[in-house]
Each structure stands twice: as C-alpha cells, then as structure tokens.
Structure 1
C-alpha cells in the first residue's frame, strides 16, 4: 500500500519536476560546460569567478524551472502588468537612476541595484505577443503601428540611458514578434528604406563615445594604442589560435592581459585563441542546435501567442551570439553584448535562463493550449 502511495506521489510531482526539454537542456549543459572550461583559463589570477559563475548557473536553472512550470495562459495574464512595470521602472531610472561609468542604467531598491532594461528583453516581446494574439483576425496597418509604438517606448528609454547593446537586443526580439505576426513585405521594405534615410539623423543623436565606436570599427588602426587597442588585440587573439588553438590555459594574449573584459564580453577571443578554428566550429554548432531547437518549438507552437513568444525568444539567442561574435572579431561596433551562456555574469544568465524556460513552457504545454 505504501509503494502505491509513493508511486502516486511521484506521479503527481513528476509533471512539475521533469519540465525540461531534453534536447534543449542537452545543448545548454554543453554550452555551460564549455563556458566553465573557458572561464577557468580566462579568470586565472582573478579569484572567485568560477564559484560565482556556478552559483549563477544554479540560479539560472532555478529560474528556468520556475518559468517552465508557468503555462502560456498564465504568461498571457501577466504580459500587460510586466510591460507596465518595466516601463515605469525605466522611467524611474531616467529620473532617479544610479549613474555608473557615465551611464544611468541602474535603480537602487533597498540594498540592491537592479537594471530594468534587462526585464525589457522579456517583457516587451511578451506584451507584443499578447497584443497580436488579441488582434488575431482583425490585423490592419494600424495594428502594426501600435505594435511598433509599444516597442519604441521602452527602446527609447533604454537608449536614453544610454545602452545601445540592450536596446539592440530589445529591438530584435520585438521586431521578431511584429514580423512573425504577419508584417507585409511592402511595410518591411518601407521600414528598411526609412531606416537607411534616417541614418544621418541617428548619427547626429548618437553620443560621442558611440560615434567613436563606429569610427573604430572602420579603422581601428587610427588609434592603435587608444580606442582601437581592444579590438586589435581581440582580432589578434582570434587569428593566432589557428586551426587547433594554442591549448587550454596557454593563450598568450589572454594571460598577458591584452584582451579586455576577457571573462565577459570578450570571452570568445579567449576561447578562439586557446581552441582555434576547430573549437569555434564546435561552438557554432552548439548555437545552431540551440537556435534550431528554438525554431522547432516555434513551428510546433499551438497558437499565435506561443508562436510569437517562442520565435522572439529564439531571436534573442541569435542576436546575442551574432552581435557578440561580430563585435569581438571586428565586424560590428563594440556595444557590450555578452556571449550567451558563455560570458561571466549573473544578470544576463538569469535573463537567458528565463528565456529558455519560456521555450520549455511552450513545448511542455503545447497540447494543453487551446488553438
């Protein structure tokens, strides 16, 4: 009788415990294992990094588990409050935010500083997915205009901080929702033309340091010991890895401290130097599998809300990886975007864990969502 009771208890608990998508979980574990190996080498001489990152990973998995247990129906219920709270926090940052390193991005609450722009990466696509779900069957041009406005409000507040990297990620996730909602190709073409025509205006509105980053992208050798130093050293590290790399913990650019922010934004340079082209192909394969699994979950989503939300979440992974690898290899300006599941840091890892939990929730509840 006791055996039957234990089995019955496990059967009740199992749906809430075994919530992780096996394929997605496997890719994440491999990425995080690669991250710890690389971070060990990058943080030699910097005590506590590995221990802190393990703690961050455990917290990320806890967040992932919690979100995976939340049904898409409940996500729809919290979409509007989450968006409203995020916008209010961004307004509070603009008014009374804490200034660090010349940027007003943090809000002091109690004994901690929070960065509301991180919340926008999830709250904005969640709100847009909710909006287009309720507009389904009645989509008109003004529906996309309202969606664009819902996107531009938080993006404008984030750019004012200024935080170009985070605003780029929010734009990518939000635009993915608008595009997947059925944005006509004519409107898409008009947006591209408008964006191209607005470049001079955007240039005039950029901060001086942002203009310098763009200039450095085109000619880092113009100031090789100043603004171009970091990107020059990063590309040297990537190129010097060759086919198989210099070997784990044997990267000279890394351990002679030529690479800036080697545990965070520039960890890809460390990895490339020590594991070479072969290691890069392995890492790219992991990201392709991660994005591919996200697209499969998106394609199998049962209704518009879950499809838009899963698609936007997958776009977040793609944008993180593309922008980071592009900026450290000299293809894109340096905008301060971490490499997903590789860079050291708690806030970004928690955001990525939340995004992964959303994908797992969509996959887990796909048969329970009303189409």
Structure 2
C-alpha cells in the first residue's frame, strides 16, 4: 500500500496553521512600515536594516513556536519563568553591566536585559494565579497578586529603569483588573493620580527648583518630569529630545515631506531617531496621513487581540490575551505620547518599528501567545 505524500501547499498550510491571519497581516504591515522608517533614520548606518531583519527573523521563529504551543504548556512555564526572571533581576545588582549610570544588563556570553523577561513572565504568572482560583477569587488574592507584581517592578525601578518598570506594572495591573478587581478600589487610585498630576502642573515652578528633593525619585527622573512640564527650561539638555521631536512632527504637515526628505532626522536634530524617536522620523516624512494609517494599524492590533481574548477557551487564555493586547496599547500610547510631548520621555520603543532585538523578540513572543489562545479556540470548535 502506497501513501501519497502531502503536496508542498499542504505542508506549508500545516506549518502555518497556528497563525492567526488578521494578526499576521497587521504585524507584517507594521514591520514593513518600520523598515521603511528605519532605513531613512539609519541612512548613514545601512547595516542597521540588515540587523533588524535578523531580529525580525528571530521574532518570527519564537512567534511560530509559541503559536504552536498549547496554552496548558504556557501555564506550566509561568512559575519557573517568573522565578528565573526574579533571580536574574537580583543578579543584575551583583554582576550586572553598567551603562550610562544604569545597571540593567548581564553578560552571559551575550548581553541580555533580564527586565524584558518580566514583560511576558508577569502576565503569565498572574493569569496562571487567577486561573487556579477561578470561581473563588477572594479579596486577599488581589493583595497576593499585587505583591507578586511589586517585587519585579521594584527591582527594575531600582536599576533604575522607569520605562520598563511602568510596562511591567501595566502588564500585571491589566491581568488583575481583567480578573475582576472592583472599580471601588480602582477609582481612588485614579483620583489620586489626577490630583498628583494637577499638583505637578499647579506647583511646577516651585517643586522643580534645583534645591528641592523629590522623595523616592532620582535626580534625573525629577529633571525628566520637570523638563516634560516645561521643555524650554533645558532646551539643549533634557528638553532637546522633546522640542526637536515636536518640531519634526509639526513640520511634516498633512502629507509629509516625503521619504528620505526629513530634515530634522537627516540633519541629526532628532536623538535616538532609530529607536525611541522613530515615530518623529516617520511623522515628518509621511505627515498626518501616514500617522493616521499607523494609528489605525495599532488600533486594529489591539482590537484583534481583545477579540481573541474575548473568545479564549479558558480564563487563563482570556486574561493573558487581554493583558498582552493592552500591553501593545501601552507601548504605542506611551511612545507616541512622549515623542509628541504629552508624556515624559521614559525610553519605551514603538512596537514593531523601533530598532532593537530584545524588544522586538518580546513583542513577537506576545503575538505568538495571542495566536496560541486563538488556535486553542479554533481546535475546540473543530
């Protein structure tokens, strides 16, 4: 008896069966736009584009592996991955590599940033934690979840790395909220935040004086916030990033100056133009029309992720997919906000556009997890 070998088309379909088509299309479009913007931002360093293509290849490989992995296996690695991440964060203070006054990296043959692991490990652990308590969540479960969240956030903030600490905190808080945290507990925190922001705006001229010390914050963090409130107070220092980025966005107008024709980027006025401030490069060259397309793609990415979360087969899948979807929103909102001057500069990359291997791999893993949750639902329906 002779068995017919599957055709090439069948083998390709089987290999990519775990992929979610809408999610894949959105991600590919963002990556394509990112490469176009990166080429312009790195016209003087063309090797960056080749390096980013390698990063994309690695991200796709991990995405495919995660998409093919059942969510039950993701649950099994939640606790070990969290414990491993905490151990590495502690190791940073012992054997960490210091760059620009911050100790965030470990050299293990290659230099890695352990805090990046927590962006995935944190929502994984909390989704596992609430899955184990499905149907019987008590008030103290939220307290335990907050403690589990505050441990890595505190360690990351101590490095110091405020941007990554915010992202990890957001990832965990999304899971806690989606697990059913009452608005009665959220509202006071929200009001406290509004009062704090209002106080900063009202008393900025007093509290931003050099002789005023902010409890719990480093001097550079205080300076960053004060410069955000008034970039012109340090136009050639901390305010330079924001001022030049806003000029670039405004000079793009409605249709932009055209690809490779952005003066702010090519005359080296925009710092970190290939990483955190790549949105300013894109906005100057493609204008409001290009920005609108980009915003639509990020909106579609978040909506598709939330649709996958809503259809998750288990509470673990729903919580995890919902948190990852909102992480994409947080990345995009914080980056565009800091580049356009409505948020402080905290060093958050723009998803799938900013140059960098670690962040891109983390995002690829996140998309792979979303696809795993979507695949589980499809298998249950078939």
Q: TM-score range by the shorter chain?
A: over 0.9
- The separation in 2 between residues aligned to 1:9 and 1:29, in whole angstroms, is 23
Match of 2:106 in 1: 107
The alpha-carbon deviation at position 244 of structure 1 amounts to 0.1
Alignment partner, residue 258 of structure 2: 247
Superposed CA deviations along residues 72-103 of structure 1, whole A, max 9, x for unmatched, are: 00001111111111111111112221111110
Q: CA deviation at 1:18?
A: 2.5
Deviation at residue 367 of structure 1 after TM alignment: 4.5
- In structure 2, the partner of 1:319 is 330
Aligned to 1:35: 34
Matches within 5 A, 1:159-178: 159-178=157-176
Task: Give 3-state SS (helix, strand or coil) of 2:255's partner.
Answer: coil
User: 1:290 maps to which residue?
Assistant: 301
Equivalent residue, structure 1, for 2:228: 217
- Helix, strand or coil for the counterpart of 1:365? helix
Alignment of 1:112-131 (within 5 A): 112-131=110-129
In the TM superposition, what whole-angstrom CA distance separates every residue of 1:270-316 from its partner, at most 9, and x where no partner exists?
00000000000000011011111001001111111000000111011
Q: Deviations over 1:330-361 (max 9, x none)?
A: 00000000000010111100000000000000
Structure 1: distance between partners of 2:291 and 2:7: 47
Question: CA contact under 8 A between 2:39 and 2:46: conserved in structure 1?
Answer: no
Q: Quick one: which of 253, 270, 277 aligns to 2:288?
A: 277
Residue in structure 1 matched with residue 215 of structure 2 by the alignment? 204
Distance 1:140 1:196, change over 3 A: farther
Q: 1:148 is matched with which residue: 125, 146, 149?
A: 146
- The Cα shift of 1:196 comes to 6.5
Partner of 2:237: 226
Residues 1:230 and 1:11: Cα distance change in structure 2 (over 3 Å): closer
Q: Residues 324 and 337 of structure 1 are in contact (CA less than 8 Å); yes or no, is this contact kept in structure 2?
A: yes
Question: What residue in structure 1 maps to residue 208 of structure 2?
Answer: none
In 2, Cα distance between the equivalents of 1:15 and 1:191? 48
TM-score normalised per structure 1: 0.94
Equivalent pair of 2:123/2:172 in contact (CA under 8 Å): yes
Q: Deviations over 1:168-192 (max 9, x none)?
A: 1111111000000000111112333
2:209 corresponds to which residue?
A: none
Computed over aligned residues only, the root mean square deviation of the Cα atoms, in angstroms, reads 2.1
**Aligned-partner Cα distance in 2 for 1:367–1:24:** 15
Give the match for residue 372 of structure 2: 361
Pick the aligned partner of 1:236 from 247, 251, 261.
247
SS at match of 1:205: coil
TM superposition shift of 1:10: 8.0
Question: 1:241 touches 1:274 (CA, 8 Å); kept in 2?
Answer: yes
Q: CA deviation at 1:108?
A: 1.6
Measure how far apart 1:224 and its partner are. Answer: 1.4
Gaps of 5+ in 2: 200-212
The alpha-carbon deviation at position 138 of structure 1 amounts to: 1.5
Deviations 1:251-287 (A, max 9, x none): 0111000000110000000000000000000000110
Post-superposition offset of 1:17: 3.4
Maintained 8 Å contact 1:94/1:157:
no
Separation of aligned partners in 2, 1:283 and 1:90: 34
Separation in structure 1 between the aligned mates of residue 195 and residue 288 of structure 2, nearest angstrom = 38
Partner in structure 1 of residue 205 of structure 2: none
Question: How many residue pairs align between the two structures?
Answer: 367
Tell me the secondary structure at the aligned position of residue 105 of structure 1: strand
Bigger drift between 275-284 and 94-103 goes to 94-103
Is residue 264 of structure 1 aligned with residue 263 of structure 2? Answer: no
In structure 2, C-alpha distance between the alignment counterparts of 1:11 and 1:262, rounded to whole Å: 43
Alpha carbons of 1:124 and 1:369: their partners in 2 closer, same or farther (altered >3 Å)? farther
Change over 3 Å in CA distance of 1:193–1:96 after alignment to 2: farther
User: Structure 1 residues 124, 268: closer, same or farther in 2, change over 3 A?
Assistant: same
